[in-house]
Structures are given as structure tokens and as C-alpha cells.
Amino acid sequence: FFEPRISASGVISCATCHNPALGWTDRIPRATGHEGQVGNRNTPTVLNAGFLAAQFWDGREPDLEGQALGPIQAGVEMAMTLDAAIARLNEFAIYREMFAAAFPDDADPVHAGNVALAIAAFERTLNTPNSPFDRFLAGDDSALTSEQQQGMRLFADSGCIACHNGPNFSDSQFHMIQVPGSTDEGRFLVTGDEADRHAFRTPTLRNVAVTYPYFNNGSVEALPEAVAIMGREMLGQEFAAEEVSAIVAFLEALTGEMPDVTIPALP
């Protein structure tokens, strides 16, 4: 995950865009990759990504194993063939030893399938429990302020919970939305189904206060503005300023404890 030498330039890793210091994203509108190329979409956080039933904004991969190898090969991201990436890893005895230990029944363990399994296994540890909301659900009535409790009620009563539901505040389904400045056709590019044009996977709202900017093109920096847009575009209502403030306060209560990860010293 932190190894940049499986990129063509030797300087880009998964952690370049999924930075632990920045909510495991990059906090720029659209990801910047190989030779400074700017991608079409905002970088989703990998926090709690193991609980999603589809990966990428367009859901083109069903799980983290499928997602893990895509950025390595993407010309706009890490721009390296899998064969070249595997050859690079095989140059280091420590990687050969670690793959052999992790996959003892595999005679030739350093291969793309095991790279995907390893990265996905690490990503499934990047969970954020014990948010104020979680503590409130566990019976700590003081974990949420009165404004946050008001926001929680508004979140449910106004219909936000229809899509942002379940433990990860995402139904992992695809819903049509055209946000400011976006011409991205979303899920349609995967399925070719007209019903999927401009549809995107529901992002998790856990840690949403620290994973800005928002939407598939990163066009909105501030959470209050994102809430107001969602009210108009998805719910057909204009939230009053005090309602936006209350919902934002509730969303801030979804920030959990960040995973304790030590950045490795690379060989």
C-alpha cells in the first residue's frame, strides 16, 4: 500500500492518494497521478471500505480485491503493468520472504492475485469505530450534543437515511445526481444501461467531515454546501440554515477513531 516502486515513476503509491494524514484520501478535487495527470473523479476514502458492496464511484469492482489492482495499471494513476509490478516486487528478498510466509501453500507466491489479497486484507483493517454516534447508540446519552441529536432526527425524517443507511451509512447502490461542473456519466460507462447515466455509488458518510472535498468530481469543499445540494438534488427540499447546521453537526459525530497504522520503512 505504501510501496511507490510498483508505479511507473517509482514515486506514486496507494498512499499517495489515500493519505493517512488526510482521512485516507487526498483532499483535492480530483486525483493527480502519473506525470501530473488529473483524473476524472475525486478520490474516495478507503476508511471502512471493506463494508461497501461495490468499489469505485461507478461500482465497476465488487470488492477490495478487484479494486486493488486497478490503480496500479491505470495510465492516469500508477501506470504500470502487473507483470512489471510483480517483477519489481520480486527484486526484493524481503518481499519474497513475506509473501512466502503469508501464502505458504503457494509455490510462487509473488503474483497479482496475492498482491490483491494482501492489499485488500490491509485495507479491511482501516476501520473507524467508537465515533460519538456509536457511543450514543451504545447508551451514552451525553455522546451527542442537543444540536447533533436534532440533526440526527432531521437526517432520518427528511429522507437522507433512505440511501445513507446501515452501519456504514451507505446502501452501496447507485443513484443519479449531477453535481456542479460534472458531465461524468458514472455507472452508465460500466453497464451501458440508460437508467445508470449519471448514477454513482452512495458514498459512506462515516468520517465525512474529514474526507472533503465532496461529490464524484470534488467540486464542493464545504460540508454545509454539500448538505444543501443533496437536499435540493436528491430530496427536493431547501433546508433552512439552522437545519443545515444541525445536520452538519450530526455528520461531524460520525468521525470515529482513526486506525493506528505505523508507516513502514520500505526495503
Q: Supply the residues annotated as catalytic.
A: 77
d(CA 112, CA 57): 23
Query: Over the range 133-155, which residues count as b (16 or more CB within 10 Å of their CB) and which as e?
Result: bbbbeeeeeebbeebbbbbbebb
Task: State the greatest distance between any 2 C-alpha atoms of the chain, in Å, as a whole number.
Answer: 63
How many other C-beta atoms can be found within 10 angstroms of the C-beta atom of residue 241? 9
d(CA 264, CA 2): 8
* Contact indicator for 105, 135 with CB cutoff of 8 Å: no
**Who contacts 157 (Cβ-Cβ below 8 Å, separation ≥6)?**
none
* Contact indicator for 6, 80 with CB cutoff of 8 Å: yes
d(CA 68, CA 236): 37
Angle between helices 82-90 and 112-123 (to 10 degrees): 80
